[in-house]
Every structure is written in structure tokens, then in C-alpha cells.
Amino acid sequence: MNRNHYNFDLNGLLKKVFFVDLIQGLFITFHYTFSKTITMKYPDEETWIPYKRFRGLHTLNKNKEGKELCVGCELCQKSCPTQCITVVPMQDTTGKGIADRVAYRWEINLLRCMFCGLCEDACPTEALKLGREYELAGTSMQRHLLTKEELLAPQAVPAEFEGGVIVKARLGTDETGIKVVPDMSVQKRWW
């Protein structure tokens, strides 16, 4: 091959003159500009509700009659690998629990918790479940030491809710941290 031979590329020249690559690129841009968006407007407008198997913030449950399922057996505390759970039982004859033994204290240190779910497995009465709340950032350490009363309060996402959807949400902030409030009535699949 003659190395001084210059092969004139008209096609390439025309592409450069008429900005074909640029137009092609911009076309994609325009296409996405006007097509349906797939990103989530989190946390301002939307939030992701995980599947049921998700392991988020713990909940202590009640049965249908509204009695506390936790009997304070301390098995969750025993099974916890990071020792972040403290349970102190007590006797209760007022009938607020399913047995006369209820938890006097049920406390968890979320800073230590690694959400392994062993406590949930150990629970003999299915009182303890790892819920679907995952926005756990806060401005104070105290916010991460949760007590029985806080965990007994129902979570925003009910246990029977299927999950795996994006729902409408509202970003709420206060001095303790950020809270994204979901509205389960408006939901969509993300794919």
C-alpha cells in the first residue's frame, strides 16, 4: 500500500458538515425529553415501597383482638448477634398481652442493628417483624434507641401490603430528621 495515498472520505465529510452525529445524539435527548420518565422523584414526590421480604425497622405486633403478641421471652435478645435488643419481662394481669407475661421493656439500639432478621426468626409468637421502613437517618443518637411503645405503633406500610411499587409521597422534615410520608393509594410499577 502506498503510504502517501490519501483516500478521500466524502461520506465522513458530509457527516461532519451536516452535524449528523450531533443530531443523532440530540435525537436521543429529545426522545427522552418527551418520553415517559423512569427515574423516581424521591423523596419529594415518590417513594419506593419494598417487597414483603424486606428487612427494615422492627415492629412489635398485636393480634386481632388488639393484644400484644410479645410475651417477653427474651429469645430475640438471646439470638441477636450484635446484642442490640434488651427485653425485660413482667407480670401483667390486666390482659393487655396474649399471656400474663408481657414485655416491661423492649428496647433496640438501631445503631448497632444490622437487620439480619434473626430476632424475627427466633420470635415464637410472631410478635416481632422487620418492617419496611428504611429511612432511619436522624439528627440525634436518641432517635435510634427505640422503645416498646414506639415499635408497637403501626408503621406507615401495613404488613399485608404487597410492596414492590412506587407510591406517591411527601417529604417531611423536622428537627429529628427526615420523614418521607407515603400515600399508598397512588402507586405504580417501576418497570
Binding residues (CB under 8 A) for other proteins: these are 71-75, 77-78, 88-91, 99-101, 124-125
Strand partners, 180: 171
Q: Return the number of the residue (90 or 181) whose C-beta is nearest other proteins.
A: 90
- Indicate if the alpha-carbon torsion angle 95, 97, 99, 105 is positive or negative: negative
Distance of closest approach, residue 143 Cβ to other proteins, in angstroms: 24
Q: Return the number of the residue (88 or 159) whose C-beta is nearest other proteins.
A: 88
Tell me the Cα Rg of the chain: 27
Q: Is 25 helix (H, G, I), strand (E, B) or coil?
A: helix
Instruction: Report phi then psi at 138, rounded to 5.
Output: -150, 170
Grid cell digits, residue 178: 427526615
- 179 vs 177: CA distance, rounded Å: 7
Q: Return the number of the residue (99 or 184) whose C-beta is nearest other proteins.
A: 99
Q: How far, CA to CA in Å, does 120 sit from each of 125, 131, 185?
A: 10, 10, 29
Q: Is 10 helix (H, G, I), strand (E, B) or coil?
A: helix
Distance of closest approach, residue 124 Cβ to other proteins, in angstroms: 4
Q: Return the number of the residue (91 or 173) whose C-beta is nearest other proteins.
A: 91
Distance of closest approach, residue 71 Cβ to other proteins, in angstroms: 5
Q: Shortest CA distance to 133 belongs to which of 95, 67, 177?
A: 177
Distance of closest approach, residue 97 Cβ to other proteins, in angstroms: 10
Q: Return the number of the residue (84 or 180) whose C-beta is nearest other proteins.
A: 84
Distance of closest approach, residue 120 Cβ to other proteins, in angstroms: 15
